[in-house]
Amino acid sequence: MKNILQILFTGSLVLATLVARAQCLKSWQYFVPIAITNSTSGTLTNYQVKIYVNTAVPTLAGKMSPTCDDVRFTDTFCNNLPFWIENGINTDSTLIWVKVPTIPTTGTAIKMYYGNPSLLTTSNGDSTFIFFDNFQGKDLDTNKWQIFHSGSASFTVSSGALTISSDLDGAIRSKASFPSPIVLESNIISANVTAGYAHHIALLRSDSASGVALTYGNYHGAYCMLLGSADQANATYGCSNQNVNINPGTITGLWSLSWPSSGVQYSSWPGGNLTGAISSHMPTANLRVGAGILYSGGGSFVTNMIRVRKYSKIEPTDSVGTESTNGTGTGIKVTNAESTAIKIFPNPANDIVNIDLDASHTGFHTLTMTDMAGKLLYSRELNNLDPNLQLQTNDYPKGIYLIKLTGVNQTFTQKLVIE
């Protein structure tokens, strides 16, 4: 009888643990399960998984913040998972990268939570990827990058983008190196070539500037994409032994480069891809990354993101389930200006926008303004003493923004047009 009672007690504890784990983040009102499949022959660890989710439907229903500030991810043990929202906020195909600790060959499951007011986003590229820079601030982060050039060159960070301009060459290389194999990706805004086969991203040996590079430029009189070996030359490096695509199509957008082993390289860009069999260099156990304008090149190169993530020949796949209610969260109450006494004017605005609250709407404690990608541009703590607010708008570019007022159990959001 004692053994039976012990078994029943142990079983009850296990069941209670499973029930507790089934309900994570109790202050969030909704979640969707996401199944992740691993078709490789081994377990993937700390792997960046690309997931597309529909955020437009829950946003329209008032369940999710219009800027996805309340989105969170957990594993089956209720551990919060690092994630980065790349693009598509408030659309049916929001692209989010989630760092999943373990994906066995049998697959795993995670959950996406939302429906909790008064939160700021925890989307963070640095914690999600092996290496990440989306060029915030006014200067290049010299803790991450080294600068190399032998001609006249400038390296400018502005409005979330890095611009490299040069009459001969100009490149950045990561100070750190990263365990191979890896995938290097960069979102190219523009590539204006004035000379040579100039604009590139590169994977480099940790002991030299030698490696492989994906390059765009003028090669024997034609503008091409090239996948070739990167060889140290003067301050930067040249490119040789190329595989060439003479019809590269669309150049701007996401470039990708991987070097899983000697004689094997993969690259892609929006207009096409190239596979290499370059064996002149062997990858080291750790690789550095580089980008910019190659030796004997010229022009300007603009990117707004460079990242490094883990490599797998077969990427994990995901399947997003249906929404369920969760915990005791209060959800998000989203109202609009037409149905309340909250007034935002003038809209469109030029220099100043006024936000007027009546006595029944003074329970908000935070005012924020974001762009449509969810980037926080302005934040202010509020009190109940003055229900009339003003926000200077003349320092912001023309466009559409989101004004958000947040309270304990309420959130007010409205679009603002700045002309």
Does residue 221 form part of some domain?
Answer: yes
CATH number at residue 95: 2.60.40
What pLDDT score was predicted for residue 10?
36
Residues 277 and 144 placed together within one structural domain of the fold: yes
What pLDDT score was predicted for residue 93?
95
Residues 149 and 290 placed together within one structural domain of the fold: yes
- Residue 233 amino acid letter: A
In this structure, are residues 164 and 301 in contact, taking their beta carbons and an 8 Å threshold? Answer: yes
What pLDDT score was predicted for residue 18?
35
Tokens in use for 116?
Answer: 């909790």
The tens digit of pLDDT for each residue in 82-94 reads 999 999 999 999 9
For 159-313, where are the E strands, in sequence order? 161-166, 170-174, 178-179, 182-195, 199-205, 211-219, 222-233, 236-245, 253-261, 264-269, 272-276, 286-293, 298-310
Angle of CA points 98, 103, 108, to nearest 5° = 85
Q: Which residue has the higher pLDDT, 8 or 224?
A: 224
The tens digit of pLDDT for each residue in 256-281 reads 999 999 889 999 999 999 998 888 78
Q: Which residue has the higher pLDDT, 124 or 151?
A: 124
Residues 213 and 145 placed together within one structural domain of the fold: yes
Residues 202 and 289 placed together within one structural domain of the fold: yes
- Residue 203 amino acid letter: L
Residues 78 and 205 placed together within one structural domain of the fold: no
- Return d(Cα 93, Cα 79) in angstroms, integer: 25
- Return d(Cα 168, Cα 296) in angstroms, integer: 5
Residues 285 and 160 placed together within one structural domain of the fold: yes
Poorest-pLDDT segment among 40-54, 218-232, 308-322: 218-232
What pLDDT score was predicted for residue 336?
39
Asked if pLDDT for residue 334 goes beyond 50, the answer is no
In this structure, are residues 67 and 375 in contact, taking their beta carbons and an 8 Å threshold? Answer: no
- Residue 370 amino acid letter: T
Over residues 376-398, the mean pLDDT reads 80
CATH number at residue 351: 2.60.40.3080
- Return d(Cα 114, Cα 411) in angstroms, integer: 14
Residue 151: is it exposed, middle or buried by C-beta count within 10 angstroms (0-12/13-18/19+)?
Answer: middle
Among 379, 367, 375, 359, CA closest to 413 = 367
Q: Which of 73, 99, 128 is the last residue of a domain?
A: 128
Residues 232 and 294 placed together within one structural domain of the fold: yes
**CA 366, 372, 373, 376 torsion: positive or negative?**
negative
Residues 344 and 280 placed together within one structural domain of the fold: no
The tens digit of pLDDT for each residue in 357-377 reads 765 555 778 888 888 767 788
SS3 category, 211: strand
Tokens in use for 360?
Answer: 């029944």
Q: Which of 119-123, 336-340, 363-367, 400-404 has the highest mean pLDDT?
A: 119-123
What pLDDT score was predicted for residue 362?
58
The tens digit of pLDDT for each residue in 152-199 reads 889 999 999 999 988 777 889 999 999 999 999 999 998 877 665 567
- Return d(Cα 166, Cα 298) in angstroms, integer: 5
Range of the domain at 387: 334-418
Element at 125 (helix H, strand E) = helix 125-128
For residues 185-196, one letter each, b for 16 or more C-beta atoms within 10 angstroms of the residue's C-beta and e for the rest, the string is bbbbbebebeeb
Residues 276 and 196 placed together within one structural domain of the fold: yes
- End-to-end C-alpha distance for the chain, whole angstroms: 79
Over residues 312-339, the mean pLDDT reads 70
- Return d(Cα 248, Cα 231) in angstroms, integer: 23
Number of domains present in the structure of the chain: 3
Does residue 5 form part of some domain?
Answer: no
What pLDDT score was predicted for residue 253?
96
- Return d(Cα 83, Cα 195) in angstroms, integer: 39
Poorest-pLDDT segment among 3-7, 219-223, 411-415: 3-7
Band (pLDDT 50/70/90 cuts) for residue 23 is low
The tens digit of pLDDT for each residue in 340-358 reads 567 888 988 888 998 887 6
Q: Give yes or no for a cis peptide into 316 (omega within 30° of 0).
A: no
Residues 161 and 304 placed together within one structural domain of the fold: yes
Residues 151 and 260 placed together within one structural domain of the fold: yes
Residues 109 and 162 placed together within one structural domain of the fold: no
What pLDDT score was predicted for residue 220?
64
Does residue 61 form part of some domain?
Answer: yes
Q: Give me the chain's average pLDDT, please.
A: 83
- Return d(Cα 119, Cα 346) in angstroms, integer: 27
